[in-house]
């Protein structure tokens, strides 16, 4: 096998392993409703009542949330990332979709508290729905059962005590973040059907300033 063939084979194997890990997230057992219908229902309801949608996350989770926000705008929803200079105030009838994969981030906690205080509904996407933060700050929780930074720390502690837990090929919170991307693509596909939006209508809302 040539060097090029070996590189291609290695890339294919890595890609297949990563895709398999992400696929497994969506078949993992959970006592909670699947994240996709929860998100679609909440977003469709917000659209029906004419509410605005705000999204928030930190780090790479925040990048995934901004990608979702862009597609929501393409679907015709008034969607805004928290912190953008053009984001309007949140209020009654609005929806905040926030992500806290490990269960809690101090900044996400604060944003959710402000949104709820202003009368907005809060949907929290997380891999750890049983914590204090989801119960305290979220009106509804969408469970995405994937490895996060918090799980990576627990694996490191287990390894240090000579246990041998299984480790994901993807490091840190990459599995959760990759699953977010796939989840949001599925949500957008279903939401487009619910809202009666065609690919052509979505494309017409894409910016021409690029």
In this predicted model, what pLDDT tens digit does every residue of 182-209 receive, in sequence order? 999 999 999 999 999 999 999 999 999 9
Give domain limits for the chain: 31-160+168-203
- Listed residue (110, 57, 111) closest to 89, CA to CA: 111
* Best-predicted range by mean pLDDT (20-34, 54-68, 136-150): 54-68
pLDDT at residue 166 is higher than 60: no
Contacts of 1 (CB under 8 A, 6+ apart): 9
0.75 exceeded by pTM:
yes
- One of 3.40.50.620, 3.90.1150.10, 2.60.120.10, 3.40.50.10490 is the CATH number of 31-160+168-203, namely 3.40.50.10490
177 is catalytic: yes
- How does pLDDT run across 47-98, given as a tens digit for each residue? 999 999 999 999 999 999 999 999 999 999 999 999 999 999 999 999 999 9
- Other Cβ atoms less than 10 A from the Cβ of 87: the count is 14
Residue in 162, 177, 190, 210 annotated catalytic: 177
The CA angle 54-102-91, to the nearest 5 degrees, is: 20
Token pair 């209508």 is found at 201
């Amino acid at each position: 096998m040539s060097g090029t063939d070996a590189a291609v084979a290695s890339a294919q194997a890595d890609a297949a392993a990563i895709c398999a890990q992400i696929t497994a997230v969506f078949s993992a057992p959970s006592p909670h409703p699947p994240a996709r219908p929860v998100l679609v229902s909440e977003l469709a309801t917000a659209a029906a009542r004419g509410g605005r949608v705000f999204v928030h996350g930190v780090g790479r989770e925040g990048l995934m949330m901004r990608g979702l926000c862009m597609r929501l705008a393409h679907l015709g929803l008034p969607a805004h990332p928290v912190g953008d200079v053009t984001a309007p105030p949140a209020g009654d009838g609005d929806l905040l979709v926030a992500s806290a994969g490990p269960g809690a981030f101090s900044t996400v906690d604060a944003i959710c508290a402000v949104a709820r205080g202003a009368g907005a509904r809060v949907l929290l996407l997380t891999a750890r729905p049983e914590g204090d933060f989801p119960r305290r700050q979220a009106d509804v929780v969408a469970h995405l059962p994937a490895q996060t930074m918090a799980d990576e720390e627990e694996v490191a502690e287990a390894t240090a005590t000579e246990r041998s837990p299984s480790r994901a090929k993807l490091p840190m919170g990459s599995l959760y973040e990759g699953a977010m991307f796939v989840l949001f693509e599925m949500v957008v596909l279903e939401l487009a059907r619910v809202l009666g939006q065609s690919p052509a209508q979505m494309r017409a809302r894409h910016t021409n300033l690029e």
